[in-house]
Amino acid sequence: MIDGITLTGYPHYHMDCDLQTITQHLLQSYEEIGGINHFDGTNLPSKLSVERFCGELLSLIFPGFHDEAPMHSSSLESETTQRIFRLITTLKAEVRRSLPFAATAPTELDEAAHGLVCGFLRKLPEVRRRLQTDVTAAYEGDPAARSMAEIILSYPCVEAIATQRLAHELYLVGVPMIPRMMTEWAHRRTGIDIHPGARIGNHFFIDHGTGVVIGETTVIGEHVKLYHGVTLGAKSFTKDKDGLPMKGVQRHPHVEDDVTIYANATILGGDTVIGRGSTIGANVFIMESVPPNSVVGLKGENHQIDSKSPRT
């Protein structure tokens, strides 16, 4: 018997596994190692709740595109109001759970969570405006695109970028955990991994998208286009006195305006700048800055960097 639960009802082949010993050892690991949630002690944000409100946010950003039933214009106001009300309730609860893990935890958690959530929701119209430029970039940058509606409905980059832009607003005001949970939700769904801390300009397009990785301190200008498999990553980690990676330092590249980066290119380093108007070819590996208006490609085992000639 374990805590009043009899084991006599279990088949004999379960008992062969020494169920009671396994249970006790696992309980001991819970006590020694931790890593449990929603118990008497630590109460972390809920993954399921975060996933649900990510879906609600996308429905607010793209009304009618994430719903099974058609939406009539006469019900748009009431439906929007109801969604905002639900988000205030669910998002506030999860933000409140995350705040004790902030660098400077507020004393009044309910009040702080309410203010952060209301401020975040006020940003939604601006996020929508920025996302419209991303949808336009996809339409203008992909000859296979037949309409804006097709892009919103089917392109994984739209979902990944939309979620990142939403998560970035929470990241900027210091909400712990939840922004990363949001972008990892999109990562699992799309194969595109964009850290919520990345700063991304308007008219951003990721063609195909699978395998793209964009690190926390990456800066991306406007009218930038990436292809699948691109990594904008860190070259190395500066360690603190305890031998742990230092937080908050520039580790990832700066990609200036009007840059195109082709498939499976890897660009590393916090001091690496890809100059405006440059084209980075497929499969290149870059750890140093590239001048503006350059073309970077492979020549044998070496990179070849040429100046772009004026187009006729």
Cα–Cα nearest to 169, from 205, 119, 213: 119
Verdict on whether the full-model pTM lies above 0.95: no
Say what the pLDDT of residue 39 is: 56
Q: To 5 degrees, how large is the angle CA 83–CA 138–CA 206? A: 90
DSSP state of 5: B
Question: What is the set of domains in the chain, with CATH numbers?
Answer: 1-33 (no CATH), 37-192 (1.10.3130.10), 211-312 (2.160.10.10)
* Amino acid letter for position 4: G
| 3-class secondary-structure state, position 118 | helix
161: buried, middle or exposed (CB in 10 Å: 19+, 13-18, 0-12)? Answer: buried
Cα 149 from chain centre: 23
Task: Give the residue from 14, 81, 24, 94 showing the smallest Cα distance to 53.
Answer: 94
Question: Alpha-carbon distance 124 to 249, whole Å?
Answer: 29
**DSSP letter string over 7-47?**
-TTS-HHHHTT-HHHHHHHHHHHHHHH----SSSS--PPPH
d(CA 120, CA 112): 12
Please state the rounded mean pLDDT for residues 277-289. Answer: 97
Would you say the C-alpha torsion 81, 84, 90, 93 has a positive or negative sign?
A: negative
Tell me what pLDDT residue 191 has. Answer: 97
Tokens found for residue 107: 């004393």
Whether the per-residue pLDDT at 9 is higher than 60: the answer is no
Between 25-39, 183-197, 235-249, 258-272, the lowest mean confidence (pLDDT) is in 25-39
Provide the mean pLDDT of the chain: 88
Digit-coded pLDDT (tens) for 126-162: 999 999 999 999 999 999 999 999 999 999 999 999 9
Q: Would you list the DSSP string of 149-179?
A: HHHHHH-HHHHHHHHHHHHHHHHHTT--SHH
Q: Which of 99-113, 136-150, 235-249, 290-304 has the lowest mean pLDDT?
A: 235-249
How confident is the model over 78-89, as pLDDT tens digits? Answer: 888 998 999 999
Report pLDDT for 255: 98
Full strand arrangement of the beta sheet holding 219-220: 199-200, 219-220, 254-255, 273-274
What percent of the chain is modeled with pLDDT above 70?
89
Q: CA-to-CA distance for 204 and 294, rounded, in angstroms?
A: 20
Number of C-beta neighbours around residue 284 at 10 A: 19
Mean pLDDT calculated for residue range 159-187: 97
Per-residue pLDDT, averaged over 92-109, amounts to 90
| Residue 77 scores a pLDDT above 60 | yes
Listed residue (89, 88, 63) closest to 75, CA to CA: 63
pLDDT number for residue 128: 94
CA atoms within 13 A on the CB side of 12: 0
If one compares 242 and 285, the residue with the highest pLDDT of the two is 285
Give the pLDDT mean for 273-292: 97
Measure Cα distances from 150 to 20, 36, 205 in Å.
Answer: 55, 42, 15
Across the range 284-299, mean pLDDT stands at 95
pLDDT of residue 108: 92
- Give the per-residue pLDDT at 241: 75
The pLDDT of residue 64 is above 90: no
Looking at residue 57, its pLDDT comes to: 94
Of the given ranges (7-11, 81-85, 147-151, 203-207), which has the lowest mean pLDDT?
Answer: 7-11
